[in-house]
Amino acid sequence: MPRLLIHSTPDTLASAAADEIVRAVNRHAGRRFNLALSGGSTPPLIFRRLRRLLERRLPVDRLRLFWIDERCVPIGHPDSNAGSARRHLGRIWNGADVRAMSGTVPPQAGAAAYARRLAYFGGAQAFDMALVGLGPDGHVASLFPGSDALDASGTVTVGQSPRGDQRLSVTLDVLRATRSLLVVACGESKAWAVREALTGPVLCPFARACAGRPSVQIHVDAACARALGRRGS
């Protein structure tokens, strides 16, 4: 069952999530730690906290960065998930082994290329940890409710957002096979999907990604906790 952790603000949530990443990397001695990143509004807060921890606690030379999804835009575009990470991670980006998705090739070609990259690192089991955001509609990565991408086989697919834009995304099989899911959810609009992951029924993409997982941490802020009927810390 997922573990729920409540924080007073998005900033304290981001600090706790960054600290968890650092602990996981430091526990993972002997080889590169494969960390998959996501986009959204909360991950940049985590990236900035990680940057502050670089000198003291984060062995960036042991970090390999992947992505769980990407918009079909160049990395310099404001909507690029990898571009956001590059801006906010600073020297961590320069020191890590970065394995970003390409948003500049045709989507199906980009998905096939990233699937080949994941195959080299273990396929569906490539990620040691995935930093996962959550949409108000219950989507995770770029796997939206009712989309064909939800039932895609393999490791990487092409999803389509409700706005109609195409995106590269790992599949549910990859998220379920990831050794640890680190979920961040801010705001009351996310509470229903968090509740579904915690208690069922397992219907939305986010809850399906968490179902049966041995290691899922869901970090929520006070607003989300109140909507869940939980008391914040």
Q: What is the pLDDT of residues 110-166, one digit of tens each?
A: 999 999 999 999 999 999 999 999 999 999 999 999 999 999 999 999 999 999 999
Query: In the predicted model, what is the mean pLDDT of residues 160-189?
Result: 96
Predicted pLDDT at 55: 65
- What type of residue is 75? I
Statement: residue 231 has pLDDT above 80:
no
**Cα separation, 118 vs 169, whole angstroms:** 12
Q: Which residue is listed with tokens 């394995």?
A: 99
Half-sphere exposure of 210 (CA within 13 A, CB side): 32
Contacts of 164 (CB under 8 A, 6+ apart): none
Provide the phi-psi class of 146: left if phi over 0, else alpha when psi is between -120 and 50, else beta: left
Contact 85, 75 (CB under 8 A): no
Q: Return the structure tokens found at 204.
A: 């939305």
Least confident of 32-41, 54-63, 104-113: 54-63
Statement: residue 233 has pLDDT above 70:
no
Least confident of 44-58, 119-133, 161-175, 205-219: 44-58
Backbone CA torsion sign across 47, 51, 54, 56: negative
Average pLDDT over all residues of the chain: 94
Contacts of 205 (CB under 8 A, 6+ apart): 138, 139, 140, 143, 144, 145, 150, 172
- 3-class state of residue 179 by DSSP: coil
Q: Return the structure tokens found at 212.
A: 């049966």
Half-sphere exposure of 20 (CA within 13 A, CB side): 23
Query: In the predicted model, what is the mean pLDDT of residues 101-114?
Result: 97
Query: In the predicted model, what is the mean pLDDT of residues 212-231?
Result: 93
pLDDT band per the 50, 70, 90 thresholds, residue 232: low
CA distance to 117, 146, 226, per residue, from 122 (Å): 9, 29, 40
